[in-house]
Amino acid sequence: MLAVVPVRDGQLPLGGAEAVAEADGHALLVGQDCAGAADALAGVGRSLRLAELPPFAPAAWSAALAPLLAEVEIVVLPASPDGRDLAPRLAHLLRRPLLAGAVAVRPGRAVIAVEGGLVMHDVSVDGPFVATLQPGVRGIEPDSSIEATVDVVDLAPDRGGPGAPGDPQLVELLPADPATMDLAEAPRIVGGGAGLGDAAAMDELGRVADALGCSTGGTRVITDWGWLPFERQIGTTGVTVHPRLYLAFGVSGAVQHVTGLGDPAHVISVNTDASCPMMSLADLAIVTDAPALVAELARRLGVAEDA
């Protein structure tokens, strides 16, 4: 099994490290500054191959990669935007089935999540296949004893590769809007819980999140109450996220919620209950009234409703 991980400017995509871990540390990193991305796989990667390629062009990339992957039994990519673009093209050129949205990949089989993650299909495959692995479902546990071997692969993208349609021309690259982007891909999230007290405080928290350039999420309780749309629910019955920063306001930290948080680099929790699970998970725990702090933040950021 080999993980193929698209790299942009030395940054691993969402779920990139998990795909490498699923392939037992064997990976091909493709894109720009792959060496920088390899550094982020310390304790995860065992055998890394680096291939520098021009800016992302799925047709050209897949045409260049297909000959290199012809003898690989299982190719797994992260189900990030670039991974989802590249996987079907590779499957087409390699003439293999594509198992999209897997939560586990094993020799000869994969577990596929359907119906919004409510149903799991155990799919058996007789022969080679390509799969995409959903970010956030596997997790990683770096092992400091693992030392990766690194090799450089020289690839020449072939835009006229057989069976590869032409790549679209990039007209303009727009940054993602934190308010509308897929919560699973958001790097910074402000989350609200029942401790906010009412829907008005949740609305105000949304304005604070916008001012801070963060996405807004919440617990199941507040989506059940209608304070947020269900697609903004974080947890095992909602969206699994993996932010670099998570700010929790009035979130107690029920297990169904925190197991959907992935492994945030930084967690800040605001709650009146200093002993609740969310506070014990936080890098910075602030014991205070969450709605009052939200109101003060809104005032200072100039987004208070009466400002």
Residue 140 pLDDT greater than 90, yes or no: no
What one-character DSSP code corresponds to residue 305?
Answer: T
Mean pLDDT over residues 238-244, rounded?
87
Which residues fall within 8 angstroms of residue 258, CB to CB, at 6 or more apart? Answer: 277, 278, 281
Residue 169 pLDDT greater than 80, yes or no: no
Q: What are phi and psi of 160, to 5 degrees?
A: -105, 20
- Helix-strand-coil percent breakdown of the chain, rounded to 5? 30, 25, 45
The secondary element (H helix, E strand) that includes residue 210 is helix 199-212
CA distance 132 to 110: 10
| pLDDT tens digit sequence for 280-291 | 999 999 999 999
What is the reported pTM? 0.74
What integer pLDDT is reported at residue 97 of this predicted model? 95
Residue 161 pLDDT greater than 50, yes or no: no
Residue 162 pLDDT greater than 50, yes or no: no
Helix axes 81-94, 58-69, angle to 10 degrees: 50
Domains in the chain: ranges and CATH:
2-152 (3.40.50.620), 183-301 (3.40.50.1220)
Q: What tokens appear for 215 in the block?
A: 């996405």
